[in-house]
Amino acid sequence: SWPSPGASVTLNCRVDHPSAGWSFYWYKAVPQLSHNSYSYELLPGSDKGTKQDLFIIGGQTHTAGYVCRAGRGDPVYYSWYSTPKFVCSGDLNSAASLTVSPDSVQHFTETSVSLSCEGNSTEWRVMRFYKPDNLLPCSSWGTMTGSTCTITRSWVSGVFWCESETGLFSNAVNITKDGDDIILVSPVRPVAEGLPVTLSCKLKIETVYNVDFYKNDKLIQNDNRRELTISAVSKSDEGFYKCKQRDSEHRTSPESWFSVKSKPKAQLRDIFPGGGNVTLTCSVGPTSASGWRYFWYKKEKASEPLKTQDVVFLTDDRISVSGGGVYWCRGGRGNPVYYTEYSDAVVTNRAVVTLRPNWPEIYSGETITLTCEIKDGGDSEWDYIWTTPGSETPQTSDPKYTLTSQSGNYGCKGRLKGEMPSTRRSDVLTLKVSDTERPQPVLTVSPSWPSPGASVTLNCRVYHPSA
């Protein structure tokens, strides 16, 4: 129910009192705020049902709800829909996100806790899921004001998320609001690799001293500090954490899971608007408006970031470049700067196809050579990939492609050796092979009755002459 980002999820559908002949239909749940319910949309590949009672969904990245039902016969007789089951993700997305204030998994019963929804919607509801199948909206355990739900009950625990009128789910968070005397203050959302984090211990009515911190029930800190600080988190820091007041038998906080997510990776897109320049745009998910600054690199990622004298900065996240090259970008924010992973490289060189010999008319059976030229390629080493009528050639280091003439569209692209990115595909060269027969030459002799010993001139002429 909490898969790793991008992992596959397996759905299983079971019919009470099972018998033969059932097919299974799989749906995603779509929030319907006006009816305080869900509508169901068939998942791709499920419109005719599946014989197997398993259905695998690949690349799960966001919180989502799923439903199944069974059917058999013609016309199909359907069972009831199953109860919705939810797959939770702690990762933010730009269309719908949930934030918690105060930012902690554990809370005292007296603490006012607010859950706020943000994203591409004007109407929201906050849902709470508590095992085994307890799913209730904010109105059942809190007060909804605009896009914020305030928990009003003293004892509330579970998994919480936002749902929008446009049918979207936010990230999900675990929250515990119980009658404990001591709690661990830890972030509700996963923390990106490389960032600092501080976990602390709180007593309900007094300041806590002499705190021990545990990870997976193993003591990891027992000095005079009341906080556990990790300067740069890594995946190895994931685990269940709790704190305990030293020399006290009963003052131990509940455990909370601390989650670490991969360092975000910048995304680089290229746009060829024409006129010779290329526009590059850098972004960091889930939204570019998150305090990121952008750093640009050419040829080598380890080089110094580009400056205004190197390229034209349209905005902080967009540059315009002329000529070819290999570019990367990354985002950074904070002080000291926390950097994202570098983007994948983008190659801005253009590929051009030329025909040799470039005769105005080419006949069937003639041998011709196409050449793939990489503009501004310099002394870089390239491999070449050709698109020919009906196929694509294997990668080759030879820029020339020799063939027996065949009508159709031809194109190429170049790929730097040792680099994955390639140029954009060239403009199409359309080769039209003449459908007339092979030319018949005509020989004339002059004079046809020469004097003995005189010179004779031979003249050869081709009908439908061309170069």
H and E: helices and strands count for the chain: 0, 44
Three-state secondary structure of 337-379:
CEECECCCCEECCEEEEEEECCCCCEECCCEEEEEEEECCCCC
Of 142, 139, 145, 143, whose CA–CA distance to 154 is shortest? 142
Tokens representing residue 10 in the block: 């397996």
Residue with tokens 């607010």, as numbered in its chain: 114
- Torsion angle of C-alpha atoms 18, 19, 25, 26, degrees rounded to 10: 20
Nearest one of 356, 353, 277 to 319, comparing CA atoms: 277
Q: What is the pLDDT of residues 398-456, one digit of tens each?
A: 999 998 888 899 999 999 887 667 888 888 899 888 877 777 889 999 988 889 999 99
Of the pLDDT bands very low, low, confident and very high (cuts 50, 70, 90), residue 85 is very high
Cβ 466 vs Cβ 358: under 8 Å: no
State what percent of residues in the chain have pLDDT above 70.
Answer: 96
Alpha-carbon distance of 170 to 119, in angstroms, equals 9
Res. 16 pLDDT band, cuts 50 70 90: confident
Average pLDDT value over all residues in the chain: 89
> What DSSP designation does 35 have?
G
CB within 8 A of 214, min separation 6: which ones? 220, 241, 242, 243, 244
Span 169-188, average pLDDT: 92
**In Å, how far are 48, 135, 244, 305 from 11, measured between CA atoms?**
17, 19, 40, 47
pLDDT digits (tens, 9 = 90+) for 365-376: 889 999 999 988
Position 81 confidence tier, pLDDT thresholds 50, 70, 90: very high
What lies within 8 Å, CB to CB, of 75 at 6+ separation is none
In this prediction, residue 420 carries a pLDDT of 66
pLDDT at 465: 61
Q: Report whether pLDDT(288) > 50.
A: no
pLDDT range class, residue 275, cuts 50, 70, 90: low
pLDDT at 27 over 90: yes
Torsion of CA 43, 52, 79, 38, to 10 degrees: -30
The residues pairing with 411 across neighbouring beta strands, listed in sequence order, are 387
Integer Cα distance of 166 and 180 in angstroms: 38
**Exposure on the CB side of residue 306, measured as CA atoms within 13 A:** 26
The type of residue at 325 is G
pLDDT the model gives residue 314: 92
pLDDT reported for residue 400:
93
Q: Which domains does the chain have, with CATH numbers?
A: 7-87 (2.60.40.10), 96-178 (2.60.40.10), 182-261 (2.60.40.10), 272-346 (2.60.40.10), 351-434 (2.60.40.10)
Q: Please give the average per-residue pLDDT across 104-116, as a whole number.
A: 94
CA distance 225 to 210: 7
Residue bearing the bigger pLDDT, 421 or 243: 243
Strand order in the sheet with 113-119: 96-101, 113-119, 148-151, 142-145
Q: Over the stretch 123-148, which tens digit does the pLDDT of each residue have?
A: 999 999 987 778 999 999 999 999 99
